[in-house]
Amino acid sequence: MNLNSYIDNMRDDIIKSVQELVRIKSVQDEPKPGMPYGEGVAKALDKALEIAQSLGFRTKNVDGYVGYAEYGEGEEMIGVLGHLDVVPEGDGWTYPPYGAEIHEGKIYGRGTVDDKGPIIAALYGLKAIKDAGLKLSKRVRILFGTNEETGSHEIAYYLKHDEAPTMGFTPDAQYPIIYAEKGITMFNVVKDFNKKSSNIVIKYIKGGERPNVVPGYCEAGLDVKEANKKKEIQDKLEAFIKEAGYNLKAEEKDEMLVIKSVGVSAHGSLPHLGKNAIMQLFLFLDRIDLEDSDVKDFIHFFATNVGMETDGKTFGIYLKDETGELTFNVGTIQLDENKGVLGLNIRYPVKYKYEDWMNIFEEKIKTNGMRIEDMLHQPPLYFPPDHPLIKTLSKVYEEQTGQKAELLAIGGGTYAKEMPNTVAFGPVFPGKPELAHQADEYIEIEDLILNAKIYAHAIYELAK
């Protein structure tokens, strides 16, 4: 019996295991003893290790940071690294985000494609090798990460306390194979408000879930003293909506005028696929009659230098090479009467250095009375096309799909940047939608099963 037949026979078990994991809300939360990323993430890790044990694998929990299932013997080790943490569900779901419901051949839920479904597919791929009794010369570990969505800090902990793979892959991007990943930054731009407005006071602006997600919702609370000013703002809003076509509305609440902005969420690496609710709101607020003040300057700066652009052109930091353009996402806003904090996610092409754009960006920010805080930076990743890992995975992909293995460069960041000798391989097939971080995330069951087959053959070819 070949590996694919073993996978086909495990179809129901694969689906059930994915559903069990997706039903656990594993968004990062406050740490607890033995749970560095909170209770939900810890529950998902426990469940994954429980599934792995039930399949007959040796398992280990590395202090709640990473867990793994191991099979085989040998000095060298092949690693398949996925993550169990997810981004917050956000709004706009047709089906319950943690329901793992099946509709029309798709499992719906946060984490189905990013990344619980794919890592379970890899686990069952290894189970097929075990059941088939195929001889391996290397050990294989299926590694369950827990902090990929908020910095991948757990990998440094794992590498300090355990073993790095000889080589491996992470099922957390697209097919065919990712040979290059853009450099990634996430950080806050902060401005203190000393000079304040009195005629129209912006009491707050809040919106966005994470810097690496295009915000789908944002709102501002305005304290407008004069009734005629309220009417003027509402009239301006109507005119703005007609002109720009954005989804904004105003309503009175608790003696404030609340302006609500609805956008379209998308992954921070593909901001052009979304509509930024924060920037829509900034573009409108920039038009209203605020007195000269720090908050007015803050809004005006971003409305004029960024607006709805996603490539940094107007800001003066546009870059492009064969791996694509620089991408610029304004992901979060926390603003009150004293301070504004914008969470940004900027990704830059692999042939460029961090300094090539950051020096310009920082100079402009500082000149306008702002500062950068909480910088997280991952340099770009590049594998030559003739690398043995790339060649092996290309061969497997072509044999299992009948399609040519074109090499891809992405703006998304994966564990490949954190774990040595690792590339991103799957799970999204060419032509299929990018659903990570979006409402109604799903994985097609046929794609899930095909992933398990591809990963079984990939693991075997690397470990035989």
How much is the average pLDDT of 112-126?
A: 99
412 and 320 in a common domain: no
Range of the domain at 29: 3-182+381-463
300 and 211 in a common domain: yes
Q: How many residues are recorded in the chain?
A: 464
367 located within any domain: no
Q: By C-alpha distance, which of 168, 159, 176, 186 is closest to 416? A: 168
How much is the average pLDDT of 381-387?
A: 92
12 and 136 in a common domain: yes
Look up the pTM and report it.
Answer: 0.76
CA distance 168 to 165: 7
Are 443 and 108 in contact by the 8 Å Cβ rule? The answer is no
97 located within any domain: yes
88 and 221 in a common domain: no
Instruction: Provide the pLDDT confidence category of residue 4 given band limits of 50, 70 and 90.
Output: very high
pLDDT tens for each residue of 248-306: 999 988 889 999 999 999 989 999 999 999 999 999 999 998 888 899 999 999 999 99
Catalytic residue among 85, 149, 154, 219: 85
pLDDT tens for each residue of 152-163: 999 999 999 999
Q: Tell me: pLDDT of 197 over 90.
A: no
Q: By C-alpha distance, which of 118, 111, 135, 113 is closest to 28? A: 111
CA distance 119 to 122: 5
**In this predicted structure, what is the pLDDT of residue 254?**
83
14 and 133 in a common domain: yes
pLDDT tens for each residue of 44-99: 999 999 999 999 999 999 999 999 999 999 999 999 999 999 999 988 999 999 99
Query: Residue 282: which residues within 8 A CB-CB, separation 6 or more?
Result: 299, 302, 303, 307
Q: Tell me: pLDDT of 199 over 80.
A: no
157 and 200 in a common domain: no
Q: Which two tokens stand for residue 96?
A: 């319950």
Q: What is the CATH number of the domain that holds 72?
A: 3.40.630.10
194 and 125 in a common domain: no
Q: By C-alpha distance, which of 163, 165, 7, 147 is closest to 65? A: 147
- The amino acid present at 464, given as its one-letter code, is K
Catalytic residue among 114, 148, 181, 441: 148
376 located within any domain: no
197 and 167 in a common domain: no
371 located within any domain: no
190 and 160 in a common domain: no
Total domains in the fold of the chain: 2
Q: By C-alpha distance, which of 451, 456, 462, 460 is closest to 172? A: 451
20 and 9 in a common domain: yes
Q: What is the CATH number of the domain that holds 330?
A: 3.30.70.360
pLDDT tens for each residue of 369-378: 999 999 999 8
Going along 356-398, which residue ranges are E strands?
371-378, 381-382
Q: Is residue 406 annotated as a catalytic residue, yes or no?
A: no
pLDDT tens for each residue of 151-190: 899 999 999 999 999 999 999 999 999 999 999 999 999 9
Using a 10 angstrom Cβ sphere, with 0-12 exposed, 13-18 middle and 19 or more buried, the burial of residue 4 is: middle
How much is the average pLDDT of 189-205?
A: 89
210 and 92 in a common domain: no
**In this predicted structure, what is the pLDDT of residue 193?**
94
How much is the average pLDDT of 295-324?
A: 96
293 located within any domain: yes
Q: Is residue 85 annotated as a catalytic residue, yes or no?
A: yes
**Least-confidence region, from 175-189, 224-238, 388-402:** 224-238
Average pLDDT, the chain: 95
**In this predicted structure, what is the pLDDT of residue 91?**
87
Instruction: Provide the pLDDT confidence category of residue 1 given band limits of 50, 70 and 90.
Output: low
**In this predicted structure, what is the pLDDT of residue 157?**
97
Instruction: Provide the pLDDT confidence category of residue 226 given band limits of 50, 70 and 90.
Output: confident
Count other Cβ atoms within 10 Å, centred on residue 312.
21
Q: Tell me: pLDDT of 225 over 90.
A: no
361 located within any domain: no
Instruction: Provide the pLDDT confidence category of residue 413 given band limits of 50, 70 and 90.
Output: confident
137 and 7 in a common domain: yes
